[in-house]
Amino acid sequence: MGRDGIEKLFRGDKSYLGKRSLRVCSDESAKIFIEFIALIVRNRIHVRLKNAKLKNEKKLNFMNVPASIRELEKIEMIRRPDGRYMLDHAVTATQKEILGAFGLDEMFIKQNASKLSGEIFAIEKEAPDEG
């Protein structure tokens, strides 16, 4: 994405949110900067999803930013009785398709869930009991 594209996104964000011109010293300037970075990230996600959608012959209605985020939010971990965590459900075909747009797969999710579970377990084991 070139400078022109980023400027258009930023201008569109200001128009959409009704932002006025802000001085650099205001607290709002930090919020605008974070919004600007978020727009860049969102655009990068959009481009990846769009490219994956173009490569696929099927009509993929879920390959847009809001739908993809909603679908990926369904990947959850639950705590087992032994104190460790595990994935609540298997990764669905839709989630695999979305992950594929970013060069990720089901094994990436499983490995990172396992790693995160071990880290959480170790931290909770070190923490003093409350109660």
State pTM to two decimals: 0.68
At 109, which helix (H) or strand (E)? helix 106-126
Residue 4 has pLDDT above 80, yes or no: no
Residue 92 has pLDDT above 60, yes or no: yes
Instruction: Determine the pLDDT at residue 47.
Output: 93
91 CB burial (10 A radius; 0-12, 13-18, 19+): buried
Domain boundaries, the chain: 1-55, 58-131
Residue 109 has pLDDT above 90, yes or no: yes
Confidence tier at 22 by pLDDT (50, 70, 90): very low
